[in-house]
Structure 1
Amino acid sequence: MKIISLFSGAGGLDLGLIQAGNTVIWANDIDKDAVATYKENIGDHIVCDDIKNIDISTLPDADVVVGGFPCQGFSQANRLRTLEDDRNQLYRFFYNTIKIKQPKFFIAENVKGILSLGKGEAIKQIVADFEAAGYITSVNLVNMANYGVPQTRQRVIIIGQRVDLGKELRFIFPQPTHSKSGELPKWVSIKEAIDHFPDPDKENNILNHIYSAYKVEYRNFTGHRKTDPDKPSPTVLARGNGKGGVCAIPHYNGKRRLTIRESASVQTFPEDFHFVGTMNSCYRQIGNAVPVLFARKLGDELMRLEKEENV
């Protein structure tokens, strides 16, 4: 399927969709480093600009629109002002793109916290908005570890399907492939994912295999807890540590933080995927991404739908 990607970042979601056989025909992000990373690894179809400067009518027609919109403006949960709230300009752009371009499907990714904003009123309004635009909308809370990603990353995936497509062509959300315990294969541990990498303090030719000098001090706080080698990684972070830096997850050896490359592997980026920018920028790009492996499962479902439609 032909895809428009909004808020693309370094391209984790896009890469997985492309690996499945789909085509991203237009993408956008405001972060120069993320766009440089995207261009080097994925393609030149990405536009580096503030999305507020883009005229939706100039976007190409596409089968699918994807992206993760910020949700600051939902915190007050004023259901009458969701689209009008100035803090929701990016959500409004995503919504208007869906409403104007009328793709067959849309995929939106967001943090788990969006479900509890305004005691659940915010997500109700989001679903109501998209249903009013002509879409059957489902909200799915996903633990990425259940899909073979070596990370207990919880995210909300909102799927929209244009109402006129009918019951015959229905997006089926991917079923888990792994579990913490049970009949499915066991969750992939962080050690399984990164233990093959050489010591970053010794000479090596691994891309982006450098790490933050931010000291490992264990506290009961996100990014400062011990990493268990036999379990999936905690969520790879994108936010700063209060001093302008990015708080990378501690390595399970307890001596250092994960390297950029190790963090990328936890997010299931290929090992030849090169991140561009400062160390902090690279960590942030990785932390903001959708795990490539999970994105490919969404892409596989889009490919199934395309084949069914063309039968």
Structure 2
Amino acid sequence: MVYKVVSVFSGCGGADLGLLGGFEFNKEQYQRLPYNIVYATDINEKALNTYKKNFDCHKVVCDDIQNINASEIPDHDVLMGGFPCQSFSTVNPNKDPFDDRANLYKEMIRILKAKSPKAFIAENVRGFMTLHKGKIFSRVIKEFELAGYKTYSMLMNSADYGIPQKRQRVIIIGIRDDLKKEYIFPKKTTANEWVPLSVAVKSLVSEDNKYYFSKRAVEGMKKAKNNMKRGLYQNLNEPCLTITSHLAKVSLNSRDPVLLVDPENELYRRFTPREAARIQSFPDEFVFAGSEGDAYRQIGNAVPPVLAWHIAKSLLEVLDAEKSENGEIIFNDIANLKYQLA
């Protein structure tokens, strides 16, 4: 069976690529999964320009989700979305966690109530789980459950799934109550042997000088407070720290990871857009539209496709599960499944 998917807060399509599969990363093949995205939406036109360059099989709408009537959204089996996370981020702990952006998860709930898909996938930053002693997280989970879904949540580290980045994100899976099915998060694939940054960055040296930080930027970094030096330079033999949408910056006094090319001469550089994309597990064939600044922002905001693939595959096993005569759950074998888009 091919499951229909609606993607909201789609961004440039990292999660969507992962859900569909059919790509290669770090010499690993991520098979095509039996999902068919029938509708995608985001408010960011530049991100959707990238989305349209890489997906051409479904309707893509650029609008504020609050303006989209549920009747405009096709019926579907799975709703997927990483609702905006600025209010929940640990990078901005002083921002109001109850502002309008924090309430956008309610738009997913509105669609769930109107369309009753079999399941949903939601994603957010690590801080979403702990801010205000977990009260925000508990409130959101309760509202998803009141919409008729049994929820499962987990803080997942991308590095545990073959991605060269220690990116931690909260994943919430919902299964419609009447289906009476249990979700199991995917097993870690590289928990004991993380993929190093060298997979994404082939050389510390860049042939293009525009990626190097100026001496003024380096001096500014030296004067920065210690709590603003979390990122700094990365070891190519270990996964990278979390990259963000600030990758295009020209200052060094931030929390974003950078590369130390020459210690003696204090020569630092930022990642190139393609290196950043690889850190997020995008295949090299994925094309980014707009300026480099646009690409950096889209990459930093994206869900790593490889992580999304593992989540989507584990959900597929649940959706395809059937009960045998003795009540045991049987999972269909999808290892060699091939099909054409509807």
Range into which the TM-score falls when normalised by the shorter chain? 0.7 to 0.9
Write the distance in 2 (CA, Å) between the matches of 1:259 and 1:50: 31
> In the alignment, which residue of structure 2 is the partner of 1:152?
166
Query: How many residue pairs were aligned?
Result: 291
The match for 1:270 among 283, 293, 313 is: 283
The match for 2:49 among 29, 36, 44 is: 36
> In the alignment, which residue of structure 2 is the partner of 1:261?
274
C-alpha distance 268-200 of structure 1, shift in aligned 2 (>3 A): farther
The match for 2:233 among 226, 242, 247 is: 226
> In the alignment, which residue of structure 1 is the partner of 2:18?
16
**Is 2:98 the counterpart of 1:96?**
no
Secondary structure (helix, strand or coil) at the match of 2:320 reads: helix
Structure 1 residue 41: deviation in Å?
A: 0.9
TM-score scaled by length of structure 2: 0.76
Residue range with higher mean Cα deviation, 36-45 or 192-201: 192-201
**Is 2:151 the counterpart of 1:137?**
yes
Structure 1 residue 199: deviation in Å?
A: 4.0
> In the alignment, which residue of structure 2 is the partner of 1:108?
122
**Is 2:313 the counterpart of 1:300?**
yes
Higher radius of gyration, 1 or 2: 2
C-alpha distance 10-76 of structure 1, shift in aligned 2 (>3 A): closer
- After superposition, the CA RMSD in angstroms is 3.0
The match for 1:192 among 199, 207, 211 is: 199
CA contact (8 A) 1:240 1:247 kept: no
> In the alignment, which residue of structure 2 is the partner of 1:205?
none
> In the alignment, which residue of structure 1 is the partner of 2:208?
201
> In the alignment, which residue of structure 1 is the partner of 2:184?
172
Structure 2: unaligned runs, 5 residues or longer: 22-31, 89-94, 262-266, 323-330, 333-342
Structure 1 residue 40: deviation in Å?
A: 0.3
Secondary structure (helix, strand or coil) at the match of 2:245 reads: coil
Secondary structure (helix, strand or coil) at the match of 1:161 reads: strand
Structure 1: unaligned runs, 5 residues or longer: 203-209
Write the distance in 1 (CA, Å) between the matches of 2:178 and 2:212: 50
Write the distance in 2 (CA, Å) between the matches of 1:124 and 1:116: 10
Q: Which amino acid aligns with 1:195?
A: K
C-alpha distance 249-76 of structure 1, shift in aligned 2 (>3 A): closer
Write the distance in 2 (CA, Å) between the matches of 1:39 and 1:71: 23
Structure 1 residue 58: deviation in Å?
A: 1.8
Normalized per residue, the structure richer in strand is 2
CA contact (8 A) 1:239 1:247 kept: no
Write the distance in 2 (CA, Å) between the matches of 1:10 and 1:138: 26
Q: Which amino acid aligns with 2:64?
A: D
Write the distance in 2 (CA, Å) between the matches of 1:300 and 1:286: 23
Write the distance in 1 (CA, Å) between the matches of 2:212 and 2:178: 50
Write the distance in 2 (CA, Å) between the matches of 1:236 and 1:137: 28
Residue range with higher mean Cα deviation, 241-250 or 213-222: 241-250
C-alpha distance 73-269 of structure 1, shift in aligned 2 (>3 A): closer
Write the distance in 2 (CA, Å) between the matches of 1:13 and 1:244: 30
Secondary structure (helix, strand or coil) at the match of 1:139 reads: strand
Q: Kindly provide the CA deviation profile for residues 218-240 of structure 1, in whole angstroms up to 9, marking residues without a partner as x.
A: 66425741211111011011148
Structure 1 residue 104: deviation in Å?
A: 0.7
CA contact (8 A) 1:5 1:65 kept: yes
Aligned-residue sequence identity (percent) comes to 41
> In the alignment, which residue of structure 1 is the partner of 2:133?
119
TM-score scaled by length of structure 1: 0.83
Structure 1 residue 192: deviation in Å?
A: 2.8
C-alpha distance 224-140 of structure 1, shift in aligned 2 (>3 A): closer
CA contact (8 A) 2:248 2:292 kept: no
Structure 1 residue 197: deviation in Å?
A: 9.8
